[in-house]
Amino acid sequence: MNRLSKLSAVLLAALLAIGCGASAAPSTIRAAKAPTGVSAADPGSAAWDKVRATEIALVTAPAVHASISGNATAASVSVQALSDGKRIYFRLSWTDGTADAERPDTGRFLDGVALQFPLNRSSKTVVLMGTPGGRVNIWYWRADGRVQNLFADGFGTLTSAPVQDVSGKGVHANGRWTVVLSRDLRTAAADGVQLKGVGRIPVAPAVWNGANAERDGFKATTMEWQSLVLTAR
């Protein structure tokens, strides 16, 4: 059995052990129309003041590596979405008492947040990093300011996309992180999810607390896809 097959077997066992049915019912995130003349790229922008927030329950992702264990700390993440017809913006906010934002060294890790989309736009795609033939696109922000456009075909396959067109900015205040991730609805990245003209698509958030040694697959996430509804323009 090769390494990928072993990882898949471990993941399957973990899923059966925790029971996918234990997750909360999927939530719907509705992208509102972005106000004219107000930038939504800043987490504190007034553009977000009247946008409905969807609170999504999170659980600890199944352990797929023997050296990583424990319980992730984020119990939920609040998600808002805006679109101006050309670009999509997401504001994610969650409780975290400390800002772990310095570049990590041995034994130190960064806070972070991500959004994951199935390239085939199907909710039948495996929500935990996809599978061979069921690729996922991941928009990842970490607290030192780095933003990455990634894709994966299953555990152990996370790869940086050739086109890096996702932007992000985060602010930590009053015991919370608030982060905006954004990208054009249409992308030139072959491994990037296309959102132009899409009415509804599955999406899954994930959160990492560096102070809790959360990194890689040790994170708070959803065990099933949530639903993103894009406003028709």
Question: In terms of Cα–Cα distance, which of 194, 160, 165, 158 is closest to 182?
Answer: 165
Distance, in Å, from the CA atom of 99 to the CA atom of 84, rounded to the nearest integer, reads 31
Name the β-bridge partners of 93.
78, 178
- Mean pLDDT (whole number) for 5-24: 43
Q: What is the pLDDT of residue 106?
A: 67
Exposure string (b/e) for 133-145, b if CB count within 10 Å is 16 or more? ebbbbbbbbbbee
Q: Using 50, 70 and 90 to split pLDDT, how confident is the model at 138? A: very high
Residue with tokens 């899923």: 15
Question: In terms of Cα–Cα distance, which of 76, 88, 113 is closest to 32?
Answer: 88
Q: What is the pLDDT of residue 189?
A: 92
Find out whether 61 and 128 touch, Cβ atoms under 8 Å.
yes
Q: First and final CA of the chain: distance in angstroms?
A: 49
- Mean pLDDT (whole number) for 29-45: 96
Of all residues in the chain, what percent carry a pLDDT higher than 90? Answer: 79
The 10s digit of each residue's pLDDT in 84-111 is 999 999 999 999 999 999 876 767 899 9
Pair type for strands 76-83 and 28-33: parallel
Q: What is the pTM of this model?
A: 0.89
Domains and CATH numbers, the chain: 3-229 (2.60.40.1190)
Q: What is the pLDDT of residue 102?
A: 86
